[in-house]
Amino acid sequence: MKKYNLDENLIAKFDNEKAIVTNSVDVFYGNHQSIFNVNLDFPRFSITALIGSSGSGKSTFLRCLNRMNDSIANVDGNIMYRDVDINSKKVNVYEVRKQIGMVFQRPNPFAKTIRDNVTFALKKHGIKDKEELNERVESSLKEAALWDEVKDNLDKSALSLSGGQAQRLCIARTITMKPDILLLDEPASALDPISTAKIEETLKNLKSKYTIIIVTHNMQQASRVSDYTAFFHSGHVLEFDKTAKIFTTPKIQATEDYISGDFG
């Protein structure tokens, strides 16, 4: 494996409104440090891709943004969202996760009906009105581009869906909470190309309403869907810029090698 200078980096800053800002985030699993001093500003209403080889820390970092690492790792640093450091112990972690939703690598629908998958969390958060629930089911399934495929089978088990459908159901389930930010952890890695294309299409449509941060190891995907790209290597962010710039004129050697496939 080639050695790169991990201290040499290029983190661009932009003037747009910020959705979430991280200040010197470090992550430790026990004594092992896996994320080093990450400072990233995520512009609002845009898609940011986190790329890098497996083990580079991109997923770990993503999970910090809605506190999904709480029980597995120690996270240091500040994560500013709406002027609140959501990495603080004092913050209500459930509210954080309502505002910042997450879709995981493997589709994980609940062992319930399609409808209940969408309404389950809504009901637990106090929405009881049937009409409203039905409306939310329809609108979120439409947003996730799944409505036409399942509208006649809403009371079927979600476990009967195909992988791609299940993943879009998971997206619908997340956006029905009306979050501010949507985190996606390699959402298409377990899917076939057609399902992947559908998910990407869905993401582009969602961009107008949500800030999306997506982890992917698929560089074509990153270049197709994202506006900004951050390149992770060995727990460091080496380069962050507009996607077009990263993919055409990378400034850092490691980024260039990774993008051209001459890496590792």
Partner 1 sequence: MNPKTTNKIAIGLIYTFVAIVVAILVSLIGYILVTGVPHISWHFLTSKSQSFLSGGGIRDQLFNSVYLLFLTLCLSFPIALGSGIYLAEYAPKNWITEVIRTTIEVLSSLPSVVVGLFCYLLFVVQMHIGFSILSGAIALTFFNLPLLTRNIENSLKSVSHLQREAGLSLGLSQWKTITGIILPAAVPGIITGIILSAGRVFGEAAALIYTAGQSAPIIDYTNWNVFSSSSFLNPMRPAETLAVHIWKVNSEGITPDANLVSSGSSAVLIILILLFNLLAHWIGNLLYKKMTSNF
Partner 2 sequence: MEIKKKLLRSSKETRQDKLGKGISYLSIGFIILLVSLILYFIISKGLSTFTQNNVNIWDFLTKQDWSPSSIGKDGKPEVGALPMIITSFGITILSAILATPFAIAIGIYMSVISPKRGRKFLQIIIEMLVGIPSVVYGFLGLTIIVPINRHLFGGTGFGILSATLVLFVMVLPTIASLTVDSLNAVPKYLSDASLALGATRWQTIYKVILRAATSGILTAIIFGMARAFGEALAVQMVIGNATLMPKNLITPASTLTSQLTTGIGNTVMGTLGNNALWSLALVLLLMSLVFNIIVKMIGKRGSIK
Residue 177 interacts with which of partner 1, partner 2, none, CB < 5 to 8 Å by class: partner 1
Residue 86 interacts with which of partner 1, partner 2, none, CB < 5 to 8 Å by class: partner 2
Q: Are 22 and 87 in contact, with CB atoms under 8 Å apart?
A: no
The residue range among 91-99, 189-197, 198-206, 224-232 that interacts with partner 1, by the rule CB under 8 A, is: 91-99
The residue range among 48-56, 152-160, 226-234, 235-243 that interacts with partner 1, by the rule CB under 8 A, is: 152-160
Footprint on this chain of partner 2 (rule: CB under 8 A): 81-84, 86, 90-92, 94-96, 99, 126, 180
Least distance in angstroms from the C-beta of 264 to partner 1: 29
Least distance in angstroms from the C-beta of 96 to partner 1: 8
What Å distances lie between residue 95 and 20, 98, 125, CA to CA? 15, 5, 11
| Sequence-distant (≥ 6) Cβ neighbours of residue 178 within 8 angstroms | none
Residue 90 interacts with which of partner 1, partner 2, none, CB < 5 to 8 Å by class: partner 2
65 forms part of the interface with partner 1 (CB under 8 A)? no
Of 20, 51, 65, 170, the one binding partner 1 (CB under 8 A) is 170
Q: What angle do CA 238, 241, 244 make, to 5 degrees?
A: 125
Q: What burial class does residue 61 get, using C-beta atoms within 10 Å of its C-beta: 0-12 exposed, 13-18 middle, 19+ buried? A: buried
Residue 50 interacts with which of partner 1, partner 2, none, CB < 5 to 8 Å by class: none
Of 5, 24, 74, 108, the one binding partner 1 (CB under 8 A) is 108
- Binding stretches for partner 1 (CB under 8 A): 66, 68, 94-98, 101-102, 104, 106, 108-113, 120-121, 124-125, 155-157, 159-160, 170, 173-174, 177
